[in-house]
Structure 1
């Protein structure tokens, strides 16, 4: 069950959203890589393993399975597996679409419809770590599908709050597809450099992760609200709470 805060050296403390013998759900801090990368900066997976080792006084190596990823600048709900059996069953839930992920984002401008589905082919350039929308059939291209719905707009700021449900898990998918739609994410320097200023924090947050527990099969719901800072605070926190409740009950209206 949830058990407060986790303190790790070098990064802000993390809220523990859920924990038992099989799972660890946390609120990922922004600007921390999910796993070790070329930057050499402290990464979430290593930090969590070290925390478990200390908190439970475990000798030797600690197992922690990475089930899904969030881009480095993105914060919010994440689940990790504390046993290989839990990792295998959660991976199966991802494959069979029983693993729900829902995000909120703030974009420049306003999408052309209140709700819709984006279907694109994405191609990743490993050399530059960038992704582009390419014609269907392009060698190496992968199908990318997401649903979005507009939750609110701020005409004065020229921003819109949207909820996103992923059907595929491609690298930089939300950022690339919404930029291609003409609505780059607030603060995204990679896919919205023409409209965003250096230093702005990307406004993409993992609000909800839901799945059947790998052992008990009971539903597990992780919820994390974005910080009460600009531009998130342009909208009342109640809107994020309503979205979370919709996610839990499956009552969102998408299309």
Structure 2
């Protein structure tokens, strides 16, 4: 019988992880479910059965127990879908455009670039349909200078030329760009304003989350700084403005949770539970209604400022809070008013 073994060098890497030093033995199908977004156990088991899951370059079955320092790779015969970019006629809300760049107001629910589980309908699919020859960034993504999460709404700048890409990317790296977000968070924020500093990196136990690393572990994350100020108080929740000095993945969501103020209805970080308030069933019903009105994390990229790559002129853009956030705030404002009577 001919040898059916697969040579890992002939395959494309889709995922790669190194198990933490403190990793307790855990079945690989369970382990990967914590690390791969939108993956089902059936899909993982099917991949293992087909010989696509490798540990230390040896294919393993789904009952393999992951141990500390294991190098886990998921390899397939086809390249990752995010590299197979297809233009799609998706409407894009363009706030400003010239020869060098465009500023886009992204709706909540739109993914910025293709990735696992989201291969179409992304902002990039729309951009490459409407614009030719967009420059690639360091991750090979056309036009993207920065990104915002799928369920965050608001402003993004997109580069149309190589020079604009370099110039704008440098501004984000040098922290000279201006980015202000509005967020509704759980709890009554103590200070009128403050700064959260803390290195952010992938959560060791849940790769879909990021976390703040402190003390002896601080070296694990990347430096992150968020300045916040209170805009309005509603008792059990607070409306805040957050200004980013750095741009880490989920930065505001992670930093606000770190100081005890998880974003309202942020499912990934536990904000879809009632974290503050009374035990009255009437209150519970009120919050559930707010979740229905705003079925995502309450975060909007409101202001974006940068130096124009060609003219050197400072440009600043502001976008209205979307209707879902406005309606949710109105409900809380009304609730707070009646509570204080």
What TM-score range do you get, normalising by the shorter chain?
A: 0.7 to 0.9
Q: 1:222 to 1:137 in 2, by over 3 A?
A: farther
In the alignment, the residues of structure 2 paired with residue 232 and residue 26 of structure 1 have an alpha-carbon distance, to the nearest angstrom, of 24
Using a 3 Å threshold, how does the CA distance of structure 1 residues 140 and 67 change in structure 2: closer, same or farther?
Answer: same
- The residue number in structure 2 matching 1:129 is 208
Is this contact kept in 2: 1:17–1:223, CA < 8 A? Answer: no
- Confirm or deny: 8 A CA contact 2:134 2:159 kept in the other structure: no
Structure 1 distance, partners of 2:214, 2:134, is 44
Name the CA distance, whole Å, in 1 between partners of 2:175 and 2:299: 22
Separation in 2 of the partners of 1:125 and 1:182?
A: 17
Aligned to 1:15: 93
Measure, in 2, the Cα distance between the counterparts of 1:97 and 1:179. Answer: 23
- Structure 2 matches for 1:51-200, cutoff 5 A? 51-53=130-132, 61-63=133-135, 64-125=142-203, 128-138=207-217, 139-155=219-235, 158-191=236-269, 192-195=271-274, 200=295
Between Structure 1 and Structure 2, which shows a larger proportion of helix residues? 2
Q: Which one is further off, 127-136 or 34-43?
A: 127-136
Q: Which runs of 4+ in 1 moved over 3 A?
A: 61-64, 196-199, 232-236
**C-alpha distance in 2, partners of 1:228/1:123?**
32
CA distance in 1, matches of 2:332, 2:318: 18
Contact 1:226 1:232 in 2 (8 A): no
CA 52–234 in structure 1, closer or farther in 2 if over 3 Å, else same = farther
Tell me if structure 1 keeps the 8 A contact 2:232–2:238. Answer: yes
User: 1:162-206 CA deviation, whole Å, 9 max, x = no partner?
Assistant: 000111111111001111211111110011243376762211000
The CA distance in 2 between the partners of 1:23 and 1:51, in whole Å, is 13
User: As a proportion of its length, which structure holds more strand?
Assistant: 1
The answer to whether the 8 Å contact 2:306/2:314 transfers is yes
Relative to the length of structure 1, the TM-score reads 0.78
Measured after TM superposition, the shift of residue 134 of structure 1 is 2.2
* C-alpha displacement of 1:207: 0.3
Q: Confirm or deny: 8 A CA contact 1:211 1:219 kept in the other structure.
A: yes
Tell me the SS of whatever aligns to 2:243.
strand
Question: Residue in 1 aligned with 2:45?
Answer: none
Residue 112 of structure 1 aligns to a residue whose secondary structure is coil
Task: Work out which of the two has the higher radius of gyration on C-alpha atoms and give 1 or 2.
Answer: 2
Q: Give me the TM-score of the superposition, normalised by structure 2.
A: 0.59
